[in-house]
Amino acid sequence: MMSDYFSILQCESEDSLSGIIRIQLNPDCRVYQGHFPKEPVSPGVCNIEMIRCCAEYIHHHPIRIQKIKQCKLTALMTPQITPQANVTISLQENEQGVYRLTASICEGETTYMTLKADVADE
Amino acid sequence: MEKNELIAKVNSVLAEEFEVEESIITPDANIKQTLQLDSLSLVDMVALIESEFGVKIQPADLAKIQTFQALYDYLAERA
Amino acid sequence: MMYRAEQLYQLIPQRPPIVMVDVVWSATETEAETGLTVTADNIFVRNGHFREPGLIEHIAQSAAAFAGCGTFLRGEEPKLGFIGEIKDCVLNMLPEVGTQLRTHIQLVTEVNGIRLISAETRIEGEMVASCIMKIFLKDDE
């Protein structure tokens, strides 16, 4: 699933709860054939999935999103204009195996997405 | 609803929703600046006013409602 | 009016492999009923389950199809729509391949081209997902 949507270039993380991951979007991912045929735009939900994958990468354990308290998509992202970006991840344990995930996707001065969600170990 | 009562209710629901101190809401203050509304949260304000006061702010009117006083007057005529 | 399969291409701008709605059961000015049968080749299926981005995209495209019913009846092309915000989204379960999702979309309000909708997705009456979403509709230049 979406395995070729992005790749991880670099990861700075000191524990299994937080870190910053440098990602690269793949303009050849076939999702752009349909989103949209004449205008490739990174789908918001794929960016949510990218954040989830980055959180898993830092957490070293599969996680599932239970709730999204708020997710703001503040700028459109495209692989042409934004080939790379930083994904910032912070997990805070609320109870055994359940975490509040706070994350963002940024590049330079631009914030593309902010996410507050409850996630759980899968 | 009495106008004073309406003003108090507008102030309290907006302060709670947009997490600001109620004291910074004054009649002449600009709504968007005071509540730090962007185009997305402006939609929340319209939906909140509609559910709390049963008044649907028409798109053409929204542009004219810049201050809290203008909002109170608009609602007072319709609520 | 009911729309199925490729008739939906008149309502939404998305195309394969990211088409996440396959039926519009009904639509009025303020609400719509849509559906999707989860197939094994869906790009958001992993280990036999329809994952989080798929559920959210299904809701977003249900809202797009709902908006598209209006533009279609006026003889216009579907507008590109983008998710602006997702709030209070609860994902109760990850549906299995073969199940049919049924989604109820309600238009809460519309301000300056941003539509605020609430959505509930069920499988045979059981709640799968619910959320509030804001969608930007892009006007053609």
| CATH number, residue A57 | 3.10.129.10
Domain B3-78 sits in CATH at 1.10.1200.10
- Given this model, what pLDDT does residue C141 score? 45
- CA C59, CA C103: separation in Å to the nearest integer? 7
Nearest chain A alpha carbon to C80: A36
Residues of B in contact with C111 (CB under 8 A): 42-43, 46, 59, 62
What does the mean pLDDT of chain A come to? Answer: 95
| A75 has a chain C CB within 8 A of its CB | no
> Does the pLDDT at position C65 exceed 60?
yes
Neighbours of chain C (3+ CB pairs under 8 A): A, B
Q: What is the pLDDT of residues A55-66, one digit of tens each?
A: 999 999 999 999
Is residue C46 within 8 angstroms of chain A, CB to CB?
yes
Query: Are residues B62 and C85, on separate chains, in Cβ contact within 8 Å?
Result: no
- B60 to chain C: which residues are within 8 Å by CB? none
Residue range of the domain that includes A113:
6-121
Q: How far apart are CA A117 and CA A95, in angstroms?
A: 14
Which tens digits make up the pLDDT trace of C79-130? 888 999 999 999 999 999 999 999 999 999 999 889 999 999 999 999 999 9
Domain extents in chain C: 3-137
Share of chain C above pLDDT 90, in %: 79
What's the confidence (pLDDT) of residue A74? 93
Is a pLDDT exceeding 60 seen at residue C16?
yes
pLDDT tens profile B20-62: 999 999 999 999 999 999 989 999 999 999 999 999 998 889 9
Q: Within a domain: residue A1?
A: no
Asked if residue A103 lies in contact with residue A54, where contact means CB atoms within 8 angstroms, the answer is: yes
Predicted confidence at residue B12, as pLDDT, reads 96
Does A116 fall in a domain? yes
CB contact under 8 A, A41 and C82: yes
**Residue C140 confidence (pLDDT):** 62
Interface ipTM above 0.85: yes
pLDDT for res C49 = 97
For B54, half-sphere exposure in the C-beta direction (CA atoms, 13 angstrom radius) is 6
pLDDT value, residue C11 = 93
Among chain A residues, CA nearest to C55: A45
Domain residue ranges in chain B: 3-78
Q: Cβ distance A97 to A121 under 8 Å?
A: yes
pLDDT digits (tens, 9 = 90+) for A23-78: 999 999 999 999 999 899 999 999 999 999 999 999 999 999 999 999 999 999 99
**Domain count of the fold of chain A:** 1
Q: A1 pLDDT band (50/70/90 cuts)? A: low
Architecture of the domain made up of C3-137? Roll (3.10)
Chain C residue numbers with beta carbons less than 8 Å from the beta carbon of A45 are 52-54, 56-57, 60, 83
- Do residues A40 and A28 touch, judged by C-beta distance below 8 A? no
